[in-house]
Structure 1
Amino acid sequence: MDSVIDKLTEIEVAASAIVSHAEKEKEELDREFEERRKEFDRELEEKTNEKIKKIQEELERDKKAMLDGQESASSDLIMSLQDEYETRHTEYAKEILQRITEV
């Protein structure tokens, strides 16, 4: 009977040691997982920031190109209006004078 109790005690001690070892391994795996998760988060944040920066740069280039195009179109329109004025200012002045004197 004592040998059965001794064997059961041995088994319980061995089981406790196995559970203790498993808990330590679990803690180690939890730490390792946490480190990997943090590394993943850091890398993802870096990649996201790089993509955001590229998008912002692209938008800035597009905005500049659009503004340059509008500026060029505005300059062309102003020059066209100035040329028209230079060629027809006398005619415009006569029309204005005629309208004033009709009243």
Structure 2
Amino acid sequence: MNSIVNRLADIESTAEAIVAHAEAQKPSIEREIQDKRDAFDAKLEADTQAKLHSIRSEMKKNTDRILEEQRLKNRSAIEALIQDFEKNHTKYAENILKQITEV
């Protein structure tokens, strides 16, 4: 019976030592987990910023391209209107005068 009690006491001592050791390691493990979490967050933030930069850059290129295409179309339309006016301005003035005098 004494050997069983002694064995149980040894088991309890061992269990207490294991718990004490785990408690002693707990801050170190928590710090390690927090460091890993911080590193993950920093990498995720950097990746997100890089992706956002890439998307913004691509959008700016597309916007600039579209604006340049519009400028060219507008320039062509304005030039066509100017040429038409230079060619037909006398006719337009006569039509305007005619409409004014007929009223």
> What is the TM-score with the length of structure 2 in the denominator?
0.85
String of CA shifts for 1:5-53, please: whole Å, max 9, x gaps: 6555444332211111122334332221111111011000000000001
Give yes or no for the alignment of 1:84 onto 2:84: yes
Which residue of the partner structure matches residue 73 of structure 1? 73
- Ranges in structure 1 where 5+ consecutive residues have no aligned partner: none
Letter aligned with residue 86 of structure 2: E
Residue segments in structure 2 that go unaligned for 5+ positions in a row: none
Residue 92 of structure 1 aligns to which amino acid in structure 2? Answer: Y
Partner of 1:44: 44
Cα distance in 2 for partners of 1:11, 1:4 equals 10
TM-score (norm 1): 0.85
> Once superposed, which parts of structure 1, at least 4 consecutive aligned residues long, lie more than 6 Å away?
1-4
SS of equivalent residue, structure 2 residue 39: helix
How far apart are the structure 1 equivalents of 2:4 and 2:60?
82
In the alignment of these two chains, the number of paired residues is 103
RMSD: 2.0
